[in-house]
Amino acid sequence: MTNAMLNLGAGVVQFKNLALVAGVATPAQVSAIAALPGVQSVYLNRQLQYYGQGAGLYALMLHESVPTIRADAVQAMGITGKGMGIAILDSGIDGLYNPDLVYPTHTVQNIKVIFNLSDVVTFKGPAPKPLKQGLDIFAENLPNSETSVGHGTHVAGITAALGTASADYYKGVAPGAQLVGIGTGDVLFIFFALAGFDYILEHRQDYNIKS
């Protein structure tokens, strides 16, 4: 499939753990790709939206939501998520300035997607670049992969905040777990989300990622 797309003049990014290929193509090339043998579907790289509500359980503060789901009772039994890895596929995690999510002891890996398509997309040519995999388009080992919106840091805090900055008042659901931050950018598109899943599947054993 990759070679067929390259022969049509499209740019390609492969995935190592997903049976998908991402492409940069003109409308005519997209039509030709859709007609290739073995192609089951073609999707536009749409922007994804976050949905939520401002009332009920969605409006609870962290110190309220943890006891609401009885996570505090579970923590009192000594079950804190210790030894487990949790991947946060979102806008990133601030492990540099947030003491509840500190990198690299609590947020053990922190990565950010590379946005320059010329660095990640392969086009056919006289000396083509090596094909990139979706999991290859991230910069790793970043203390802070949260560059603006704060949504990923917020989600990470709900998940596993240590409570350091608030004397345990704002402690996450699983504070003993280790976090892997996957920053897909301030505006999330389907391709970058898929690349994030590709990274998670490739490294799930490295960080014992269970969720």
DSSP sequence for 52-73: --SSGGGG--HHHHHHHTTHHH
123 domain-assigned: yes
Higher pLDDT, 113 or 153: 153
27 domain-assigned: no
17 domain-assigned: no
141 domain-assigned: yes
65 domain-assigned: yes
Distance CA 19, CA 162 (A): 37
End-to-end CA distance of the chain: 31
pTM: 0.85
- pLDDT given at position 57: 46
176 domain-assigned: yes
**Residues 112-126, mean pLDDT to the nearest whole number:** 71
**Residues 84-98, mean pLDDT to the nearest whole number:** 96
31 domain-assigned: no
At 62, the pLDDT band (50, 70, 90 cuts) reads confident
CB atoms inside a 10 Å sphere around CB 18: 16
How many structural domains compose the chain?
1
User: Residue 178 is part of which domain span?
Assistant: 48-203
**Residues 180-187, mean pLDDT to the nearest whole number:** 86
Query: With contact defined as beta carbons under 8 Å apart, do 23 and 36 qualify?
Result: no
Average per-residue pLDDT in the chain?
87
* Least confident window among 63-67, 100-104, 161-165: 63-67
pLDDT at 126 over 70: no
Give the dihedral of Cα atoms 151, 157, 160, 165; nearest 10 deg: 150
CATH of the domain at 160: 3.40.50.200
Strand positions, DSSP E, the chain: 11-14, 21-24, 85-90, 107-113, 138-139, 178-183
- pLDDT given at position 119: 64
59 domain-assigned: yes
